[in-house]
Amino acid sequence: MKNSFETWLPKLVVAPAFVLGFAFIYGLMVWNGVLSFSASRMLPNYEWVGLAQYEKLWTMDRWWVALKNLGIFGVGYVGGSLAIGVLLAVLLDQKIRSEGALRTIYLYPMALSFVVTGTAWKWLLNPGLGIEKMVRDWGFPNFEFGWLVDTDMAIYCVVIAGIWQSAGFAMALFLAGLRGIDDSIIKAAQVDGASLPRIYWRIVLPALRPVFFSTLMVLSHLAIKSFDLVMALTAGGPGFATDVPATFMYTMSFSRGQIGLGAASATMMLATVAALVVPYLYSELRSKPHDR
């Protein structure tokens, strides 16, 4: 009896949190899907309209702008974070002095929220307050850096801020992967006369494919659901030039009173995240029996 109680007690303690979490996460996902097929506007309305909300969504110019911006932000943010993260990890892997201090400095931005990052970069990129004003005060009156107020360039300000925050996170993952590689492999290649850049390019980096894939997955899902960074930095402006699907969904649902349309855009975001995560989970679960 005592053994049975000790076995079930942890499950009973965890059960309420599990049930509530399951209900609020997956239950609200289902509810959102139902709303996307309804005629909901200011308030939920369960009148079935089929794919009408999706048809309306894909005919809106603003939605296409949001998708274009997501593509630009996703490629720039993920690619830039990966490239800088790998470079920093390789440099720190050379057993340089003050490695701990440098690692902390590079990782520090990840400790901040995207709201703080967006606000800080909004000040830095503001033509009247930040980099442009500082350089002009140094004696270069013709210097211009007005990307934040340029409809064509504002999305790249979001990319810069995102890379600044996440490059250190990518560096930490790659550095851990580098430290897990057997030094004897590198020494053997050096004995054969291979240069250090060639060793990293041909031997070390290919061995980090699992780290690359995991980092890519994490950064990609952060890019898809990016909301707080965009809202803090540009609020989707100028106009809706920096809208992404997450800000589009928020605007439609809470500012324009188009709950059904916002739910449809949220469902499309969920489908995109699932398209990334499900194949990854499938490959991981499929590989486990072979690993044994």
Sole residue written with tokens 């990052």? 117
Spatial distance between the Cα atoms of 45 and 269, rounded to a whole number of angstroms: 22
- Which CATH number goes with the domain that contains 79? 1.10.3720.10
Assess if residue 43 is contained within a domain. Answer: no
SS3 65: helix
Q: Taking the mean position of all CA atoms in its chain, how far away is CA 26?
A: 21
Residue type at 292 in one-letter notation: R
Assess if residue 132 is contained within a domain. Answer: yes
Assess if residue 151 is contained within a domain. Answer: yes
- 236 is in which domain, residue-wise? 61-291
Assess if residue 190 is contained within a domain. Answer: yes
> What kind and span of H or E run contains 156?
helix 154-179
Identify whether the C-beta of residue 216 lies closer than 8 Å to the C-beta of residue 82: yes
Mean pLDDT of all residues in the chain? 86
| pLDDT single digits (tens) 157-212 | 999 999 999 999 999 999 888 888 877 777 787 777 777 778 888 888 888 888 88
Assess if residue 54 is contained within a domain. Answer: no
> Across residues 13-39, what is the average pLDDT?
86
Assess if residue 171 is contained within a domain. Answer: yes
Assess if residue 286 is contained within a domain. Answer: yes
Cβ-proximal residues to 86 (8 Å cutoff; 6+ apart), any chain: 170, 171, 174, 205
Q: What's the whole-model pTM score?
A: 0.85
Domain count, the chain: 1
What single DSSP character describes residue 251? I
Assess if residue 12 is contained within a domain. Answer: no
Spatial distance between the Cα atoms of 37 and 264, rounded to a whole number of angstroms: 8
CA-to-CA separations, 281 to 11, 80, 170, 286, 287, in angstroms, rounded: 25, 25, 21, 8, 10
Cis peptide before 127 (omega within 30 of 0): no
Sole residue written with tokens 């679960």? 285
State yes or no: pLDDT of 63 exceeds 60: yes
Cβ-proximal residues to 176 (8 Å cutoff; 6+ apart), any chain: 211
Spatial distance between the Cα atoms of 201 and 46, rounded to a whole number of angstroms: 57
Spatial distance between the Cα atoms of 193 and 196, rounded to a whole number of angstroms: 9
Cβ-proximal residues to 101 (8 Å cutoff; 6+ apart), any chain: none
- % residues pLDDT > 70 (the chain): 96
